[in-house]
Structure 1
Amino acid sequence: MANKVKQVWASGKAVVNAWLAIPSGFSAEVIAQCGFDSVTVDMQHGVQDYLSMVQCFQSMHAHPVTPMVRVPWNEPGIIGKVLDGGAYGVICPMVNTPQEAKNLVSYAKYPPKGVRSNGPIRAGMYGSAGTYQQTANDEIVLLPMMETKTAVENMEAILDVEGIDGVYIGPSDLGFSYGLVPKLDRDEPEILKIYEKIIKECGKRGLNPGIHCSGADGAVRAINMGFKLVTLSNEVGLMQTYAKMQVNATREKSGGKA
């Protein structure tokens, strides 16, 4: 199965990514029909577990989206397991050093590029028998998260690690590590300067920087800055935002009857 994320990047466009915190195949099925290029199951801060991840993947399989996962940590067991379950992209939190980035690559790649164990129990069904292992190393997207002061200090060395496809910015944790309040769409000059450098350094290496946004406005701003993957909040945020808007509109327009 070709990776749509890599196809979008090859076309020169930015990837529009969805984010699933709710452990529901039905929610995943609805989101997968909304026009996103990829859909990421959040196993770090979402309330997803492994089985709910698989259910989300099964529900979105009929739709042209790339299934991805944010794993809870940079650990070989869970990285291999989400890939075996069908993830075609791994976003990994708190990668602070080049060695940790090398570890991520090693855990996610089959030999000789890595140490991933063979057993794609579900992912193997994406092609005919034996073909998955031939293409997985090239098709799977690997995005270590750059979200701490330490990671920024090691930026160029991390980006030099062979096998990653870019980095993914966690704006809340990044700001937090610099003594700022956690939020998504950042406007502090010191953080914007970091973004500019990440985009520049990724560009030098043919890598694709991604970032988590609160919605369309932040995503468009990020794309115009040069980010190549933007996440539009998550399904919880989208549901809350629209629900609040509808409730408020009902109360305002009811003339005090609601």
Structure 2
Amino acid sequence: MRDNRLRALFAAGEPVVNAWVSADSPYLAETLSYAGYDSVTVDLQHGMFGMDGAVRLLQAVSAGPAVPLARTPALDAAVIGKLLDAGAYGIICPAVDDAAQAARFVAMCRYPPAGVRSYGPARANLGLVPGYVEQADAQVMTWAMVESRPALADLEAIVATPGLDGVFVGPNDLALALGAEPGLAVPPPEVEAAMVRIAEAAHVAGVLAGAFASGPAAARRLVEQGYDFVTPGTDMAILRRAAAEGVAAVRGTGGGTAGESAASGGY
């Protein structure tokens, strides 16, 4: 099993830049892996593919230098185990609303006695890589998504969950949960305040803070706020932005970008 390079980057205090795949295109996933991102996340929650597609996408990411990650559609041990068996080096789990759910999530990503992951690393152990089972618990990263009022209420307990590597914020789901407008390039004040609090709580507990951003400028703001792990837009957001800018440049109609917003593919 190869080392998870993200752990060294985090230990060095380097911000990790993550790509996000929602299209069912191994070619696109492989291209992003070679594009300079530190990691590429295959999104099985909102992506336009199922488990078979996710396996192909993880294979494509693994062909390049980026670390393959996956977002599970739910807190589901069978799906999480299958994504890990397919070669994901980290799982982002949506809708973790309390510390009990966070603890169950971590256990699903760990082999006994530390957890409940079932043996069967399949593609992750192709060629019978020496030491996969012995190394997997130390290499696989666990990210719990904080995106609801209950999660904010139990935040300090969530970030204190043994074995949890970090929390990950979906600003637009968090905005909806707080009754604020989603999809803004700069989140509303109540969402911004919650995101600052999440990062601070994570660091006090000694875990990492990650989040979606609507684009590069928003991702940079997150890094300046102390976020360790940022996603500056999804694959489709990048494609739409570049396409709009190209058309506008040819037509001479200005910047041609819809801006950094959820409408261009954020979460």
Of 103-112 and 199-208, more deviation after overlay is shown by 199-208
How many percent identity over aligned positions?
Answer: 35
After superposition, the CA RMSD in angstroms is 1.3
User: What are the Cα deviations for residues 187-234 of structure 1, in whole angstroms up to 9, with x where unaligned?
Assistant: 322222212221111111221100001111001000000000000211
Separation in 2, partners of 1:96, 1:240? 33
Structure 1 residues 58 and 155, CA gap change in structure 2 (3 angstroms): same
Distance 2:29 2:186 in 1: 28
Counterparts of 1:184 and 1:21 in 2: how far apart (Å)?
20
Amino acid corresponding to residue 82 of structure 1 in structure 2: L
- In structure 2, the residue matched to 1:229 is 229
Q: Aligned equivalents of 1:66 and 1:236: distance in 2?
A: 20
How many residue pairs were aligned? 252
Contact 1:4 1:38 in 2 (8 A): no
- Which structure 1 residue ranges, 4+ long, deviate > 4 Å from structure 2? none
Aligned to 1:28: 29
Q: Residue 181 of structure 2 contacts residue 188 of structure 2 at CA under 8 Å; is this kept in 1?
A: no
Question: 2:193 is matched with which residue?
Answer: 193
TM-score (norm 2): 0.91
Aligned partner letter, 1:100: Q
Give secondary structure in 1 for the equivalent of 2:63. coil
Per the TM alignment, residue 35 of structure 1 is displaced from its structure 2 partner at its CA by: 0.2
On the 8 A contact 1:184/1:212 being kept in 2, the answer is no
User: How far apart, in 1, do the equivalents of 2:212 and 2:31 lie?
Assistant: 21
Residues in 1 aligned to 2:138 and 2:181: alpha-carbon distance in whole angstroms: 38
Give the aligned residue type for 1:137: D
The amino acid across from 1:191 in the alignment is: V
For residues 150 and 185 of structure 1, the distance between their equivalents in structure 2, rounded to whole angstroms, comes to: 25
In structure 1, list runs of 5 or more residues that go unmatched: 254-258
Q: CA–CA distance in 1 between the matches of 2:214 and 2:141?
A: 23
2:185 and 2:212 map into 1 onto residues whose CA distance is 8
2:104 equivalent in structure 1: 103
1:248 matched to 2:239? The reply is: no
Q: Which residue of 2 aligns with 1:70?
A: 71
For residue 124 of structure 1, report the CA deviation from its aligned partner: 1.1
CA contact (8 A) 2:180 2:191 kept: no
The farther-off stretch of 184-193 and 4-13 is: 184-193
- Kindly state the Cα deviation for residue 184 of structure 1 after the two structures are TM-superposed: 5.9
Q: TM-score, normalised by structure 1?
A: 0.94
Query: SS at 2:42's partner residue?
Result: strand
Structure 2 unaligned blocks of 5 or more: 254-267
